[in-house]
Every structure is written in C-alpha cells, then in structure tokens.
Structure 1
Amino acid sequence: MEFTVLIHSAEEGGFWVEVPTLPGCFSRGETFQEAMENIREAIGLHLEVLCEGGSELPREDDLIIGRVRIDDMTG
C-alpha cells in the first residue's frame, strides 16, 4: 500500500509528517530520512489498530488535495 504524506519542517528543527487519509497518524524525525522511517512505522501500527478493530482500511482515492488562494493579509 502507498499513502500520501505531508512533510513539514519543524520549528525546533527536523521534520514532522502526517498522513491525511489516516487522521491522527503522524510522526517526526531529526532528519528527513528518520522522519520517513518513523512515519512508515506509524502507518503500520495505525493500520494494525484499524484491522484489529474491524475498521475498513482507508482508500487514497477518497483523498483530494487542493490549493486555496487568499488575498495578501499584510495590507
């Protein structure tokens, strides 16, 4: 399975990663590589919990990623 992940630079350094189709599934790492390894583990654990609970696994085709433009708010 493949999941779309959103990777953010953390203010304190490193990265944090979230999985839009798995609400509550996120992780972090000091390096990009560590963050990616950690999110793979987090996804696996999240899927285990869903399966054990009898929940249906999420589908990527239920995910829509878009962009929103707003006017400049600085004046």
Structure 2
Amino acid sequence: MEYPVMIEKSSTGYGAYVPDLPGCVAVGETEAEVTRLIKEAIEFHLEGMRKDGEPIPNPSKVTLIAV
C-alpha cells in the first residue's frame, strides 16, 4: 500500500503526517530523516491497527492541481 504523506518544512526541521491515518506523525531535522521516520510510523501504526482488529483504511487518491 502507498499512503499519501504531507511533509511540511518549519523553522526547526520537517514534520510529516498521513491524512488517512489520524495520529500517524513524524518529525525530523531533514526531509530525508522525516521521510524515513514517517515510513516507520506508518508501519507501526498499521501493525497496531491490525493487532487491535481495526479495519485498515484504503489510501486516498491524490490529485495535484497546477495553478
């Protein structure tokens, strides 16, 4: 599965979250670090959902709009 991830730059580093998985977040000093950490967070989040018997949501479709 491939989930859409939002990565945002801040004054102190980067933050990432997964809109389809509320509470699944990561922070890092670099974009590469936050990308690695959010991947781990997604895996951990999905593992917890499976253990708890929760349904795993399908990834949302992403559309980019040129302006």
TM-score, structure 2 length as denominator? 0.85
| Aligned residue number for residue 4 of structure 1 | 4
The one-character-per-residue Cα deviations of 1:21-65 (angstroms, maximum 9, x if unpaired) are: 00000001111000000000000100010000001101124x677
Question: Structure 2 unaligned runs (5+)?
Answer: none
% identical equivalent positions: 38
Question: Structure 1 unaligned runs (5+)?
Answer: 68-75
Mapped to 1, the partners of 2:10 and 2:52 lie a distance apart of: 32
RMSD value, Cα? 1.8
| Aligned residue number for residue 21 of structure 1 | 20
Structure of greater relative contact order (alpha carbons < 8 Å, 6+ residues apart) = 2
Alignment of 1:1-75 (within 5 A): 1-12=1-12, 14-61=13-60
Q: Is the 8 A contact 2:4 2:62 kept in 1?
A: no
| Aligned residue number for residue 71 of structure 1 | none
How many residues align? The count is 65
Larger Rg: 1
